[in-house]
Amino acid sequence: MTRGDTGRLGEALCARYLERHGYTIAACNFHARCGEVDVIAETESEICFVEVKTRRENAMVSPAQAVDLRKQQKLVLTAQVYLQQHPSEKQPRFDVFEVLTDAKGKPTRQRHLLHAFDASCIDGLYY
């Protein structure tokens, strides 16, 4: 299984999970100049920008730990672009969806981390 295949697997699992839990998927793999958001989903009151991280069970860092400050900043900036193109009154939220796989790439565990970070990560960031 290639790295791209692993990423697509995690994103598909995330989208199915969110739909089963009452979310509406607004977009997948939204690209902007500053980055990409894997899954954008909505509830009645929130618009959720979800970073999906898929790792093997024995990885050195957890999937959530891989969403470092720089990645958070890119996600927030990309979310701003999305909201400029698709205005919404809903409250934005930033989540991380972790997928762990065995050595053969079979998913063994998944976890949805709500409110994993907020937009304060871009304070003082200038482009």
Domains of the chain are 3-122 (3.40.1350.10)
Residue 51, H or E segment: strand 46-56
- Band the pLDDT of 4: cuts 50, 70, 90: low
| pLDDT > 70: percent of the chain | 94
Q: pLDDT at residue 127 above 50?
A: no
d(CA 112, CA 43): 15
pLDDT of 73-125, one tens digit each? 999 999 999 999 999 999 999 999 999 999 898 999 999 999 999 998 877 55
Is 102 within 8 Å of 109 (Cβ atoms)?
no
Q: pLDDT at residue 54 above 70?
A: yes
Q: pLDDT at residue 23 above 60?
A: yes
Burial of 69-80, coded b for 16+ CB within 10 Å and e otherwise, reads eebbbbbbbbbb
Residue 88: Cβ within 10 Å count: 12
